[in-house]
Amino acid sequence: MTRIINHPILGKLEDKKAVPFTFDGRTFEAFENETIAAALLANGIRKLRVHEDSGTPRGFYCNIGHCMECRVTVNDQANVRACLTVVEKDMVIESGKQHPNIVKRMVEQQ
């Protein structure tokens, strides 16, 4: 279990409604009113995308909307910040993908 259920000061985590969503085709459950970043981490997923150019893995960094590291595709809309977006029922989330670097390829071919 990766959720903090009992907290000595903040108290017990209330029972919340579970909401299904998919991430890269797999189905997971989030808690209602939870961000995508929190829901994925609660399901053991840290990698949210790969760098557009280099393909190296990325996760959330600041968790409050400042760094843009956590960008995912939500219901076909690209570059949505996972740390600021609440999961909704049956949301289709895709990790950020590597894009072909046209300029680099042109240089390589020269």
Partner 1 sequence: MMDVIVIGAGPAGLAGAIASASFGLKVTVIDEFVKPGGRLIGQLHQEPTGEWWNGIKESERLLQEAKKLSVDIRCGVSVYNLEKDDDLWNVHTNIGTLTAPYVLVATGAAEYPIPLPGWTLPGVMSIGAAQVMTNVHRVEVGKKGIIIGANILAFAILNELQLAGIHVDRIVLPEKSPLSGKAGEPEEVMKSLLNAAHLAPSPLLRMGSRFMKNDSFRKIGMKFFPKNGVKVNGTPLLLRKAAIEIIGTEQVEGVRVADTDENGNIIPGSEKIYEADFVCIAGGLYPLAELAAVSGCPFQYIPELGGHVPIHSELMETPLEGLFVAGNITGIESGKIAMAQGTTAGYTIAKHAGKGGAAINKQLQEAVQNVRSVREQAAIQFNPEINSGRRKMSELWESLYSKNTRENSQIKIG
- Binding flags for partner 1, 66-85, as an x/- string (CB under 8 A): xx-x-------------xxx
The residue among 13 and 110 lying less far from partner 1, judged by its C-beta, is: 13
Q: Is 57 in the site for ligand FES (CB under 6 A)?
A: no
Choosing from 81, 85, 95, 96, the residue that interacts with ligand FES (CB under 6 A) is 81
Q: Is 56 in the site for partner 1 (CB under 8 A)?
A: yes
What stretch of H or E contains 104?
helix 102-109
Choosing from 42, 67, 80, 86, the residue that interacts with ligand FES (CB under 6 A) is 67
* Parallel/antiparallel/unpaired status of strands 77-81 and 6-7: unpaired
Residue 54 CA to residue 62 CA, distance in Å, equals 21
For 2, 3, 28, 32, 47, the CA distances from 44, given in Å and listed in that order, are 8, 10, 11, 18, 9
Residue 43 CA to residue 85 CA, distance in Å, equals 17
Binding residues (CB under 6 A) for ligand FES: these are 60-63, 65-70, 81, 83
**Binding region for partner 1 (CB under 8 A):** 2-5, 7-10, 13, 33-35, 38, 41-42, 46-48, 51, 56-67, 69, 83-86
